[in-house]
Amino acid sequence: MLRNDQIDKWDRDHFLHPSTHLAQHARGESPNRIVRTASGVFIEDRDGNRLLDAFAGLYCVNIGYGRQEVAEAIAEQARELAYYHAYAGHGTEASVTLAQMVLERAPKGMSKVYFGLGGSDANETNIKLVWYYNNILGRPEKKKIISRWRGYHGSGLVTGSLTGLELFHKKFDLPLDGILHTTSPYFYRRADPSQDEAAFVAQCVADLEELIDREGADTIAAFIGEPLMGTGGIVPPPKGYWPAIQAVLDRHDILLIADEVVTGFGRLGTMFGSDHYGIRPDIITIAKGLTSAYAPLSGSIVGEKVWKGLEKGTDENGVLGHGWTYSAHPIGAAAGVANLQLLDKLNLVENAGTVGAYLNQSMREALGDHPNVGEIRGDGMLCAVELVADSDTRRFFDASDKIGIQVSAAMLADHKVIARAMPQGDIIGFAPPFCLTRAEADSVV
């Protein structure tokens, strides 16, 4: 094993980390935890610290760490056939089996699945497919995409633009033209004090209508949204939000992309968030829970209407000019198959629902009346605690105090629990693996 001081130096000198304060890291002013091993809901670092990972990595290790069945499936696939591409109709048993398993579990009306690598590239694929679809239908001007403030859809050029968080735009010259943002369904912060949930939903709908009218429905191709907003602060939709939004989109012939990178494959206690909230998507983005992050793999599940467009398009124009070398990578696909099998075998989706409800309830009972807790919200195995300087007035803490970061750092130092300070606002996020037990939920609380 490398010496600690050596790995520390190599890390700070050579490794350009994602989503990191690079200068502080290089100067050694921020932690650089090197994780060594993990099992169940616990990770262990090189110094022997055993930490309860209440965020499942980046809400992706849904089945929990150290599952030998998945490790074996990956090893077996690597020995047998580490790689072959999926271009021009090629495939592997693993990729074809996984496509079948995904469609069996998908909401009604879905036709095919394209496999990519991560959530960002899957959403890039989705936008290209939507543009292609409208070109095939002979309406080349119908191309703009509506996303929501505080939504998260990745950090590529288009996907970083779709993301409605300032951190991902600042100094990157994003968002790109043609990406529009509408009101976030964040009842706690966005609703007027006089509004109940129904009035706030009506407001979100009116704002969307107004945006569509201003831009012209014939210029707008699709609306993208997470069934429950994740990175923007773990924000469940207010009651009735999705059917009301869907009605507007249907009326204007605007496609709906449900970004289920976090909610897909069980995090809300149902297989898909679309089923959970009554959404009828045209395309569904999947990633994290598809393999529980044992290998990188994502997907775009395409509904009947878009599939018909793709079929017509390739009949008229030939090969679809879109694909990655690693699309449907066999090792990712083998991990996906083993992961979905385990999800069923161990009833983990059901556990996400029941233990997730217990976690949310316990958090409310323990912290609901705290003067610095503004709101506790969540659904399934997702929970957020929003911290405020004064719960009566909902006053924010001074941003420079970085209270969210301080609280999550204290949870780590004092209780060995990892929770995530969400990127915007003093919000502590919880998204444990689905195998969390009630006793483990108690230690998180």
Three-state secondary-structure class, residue 64: coil
> Smallest distance, Å, CB 438 to ligand PLP?
27
Nearer to ligand PLP, 136 or 257 (CB): 257
Q: Which residue is nearest to ligand PLP (CB)?
A: 119
**For ligand PLP, which is the closer residue by CB, 302 or 388?**
302
Q: Which of 62, 120, 182, 339 binds ligand PLP (CB under 6 A)?
A: 120
Measured from the CB of residue 81, what is the shortest distance to ligand PLP in angstroms?
Answer: 25
Q: How far apart (Å, rounded) are the C-alpha atoms in residues 65 and 76? A: 19
**3 state DSSP class of 51:** strand
Alpha-carbon separation of residue 136 from 111, 122, 222, 413 (angstroms): 18, 21, 15, 56
- Minimum CB distance to ligand PLP, residue 134 (Å): 22
- Least CB distance to ligand PLP at residue 118 (A): 3
Instruction: Give the residue among 437, 351, 342, 431 at the shortest CA–CA distance from 71.
Output: 342
Element housing 58 (H / E): helix 56-59
Peptide bond into 175 cis (omega under 30): yes
- Cα Rg for the chain, rounded, in angstroms? 22
How many residues comprise the chain? 445
Rule CB under 6 A: say whether 266 interacts with ligand PLP. no
Q: Is 287 in the site for ligand PLP (CB under 6 A)?
A: yes
Residue nearer to ligand PLP on the CB measure, 64 or 154: 154
Which CB, 230 or 404, lies closer to ligand PLP? 230
**Min CB(66)–ligand PLP separation in Å:** 22
Say if CB 433 and CB 61 are below 8 A apart. Answer: yes
Distance linking the first and last C-alpha atoms of the chain: 35
Smaller CB separation from ligand PLP, 230 or 433: 230
From the list 92-100, 114-122, 232-240, 385-393, the region that binds ligand PLP by CB under 6 A is: 114-122
Binding flags for ligand PLP, 36-65, as an x/- string (CB under 6 A): ----------------------x-------
CA 38 – CA 44 distance, rounded (Å): 6
Q: Which residue has the tokens 């483990």?
A: 440
DSSP output for 398-429: PGGG-HHHHHHHHHHHHH-EE-EE-SSSSEEE
| Contacts of residue 296, Cβ cutoff 8 Å, sequence gap at least 6 | 117, 118, 326, 329, 332
> Binding to ligand PLP by residue 230, rule CB under 6 A?
yes
If one asks whether residue 153 binds ligand PLP (CB under 6 A), the answer comes out as yes
| Count of residues in contact with ligand PLP, rule CB under 6 A | 15
Asked if 348 interacts with ligand PLP (CB under 6 A), we say no
Name the segment binding ligand PLP (CB under 6 A); options: 92-100, 101-109, 112-120, 417-425.
112-120
Q: Which of residues 120 and 351 has its CB atom nearest to ligand PLP in the complex? A: 120
Angle between helices 241-251 and 197-215 (to 10 degrees): 20
Residue 261 binds ligand PLP (CB under 6 A): yes
The reply to whether 231 sits near ligand PLP by the rule CB under 6 A is yes
Interacting residue ranges for ligand PLP, rule: CB under 6 A: 58, 118-120, 123, 152-154, 226, 230-231, 259, 261-262, 287
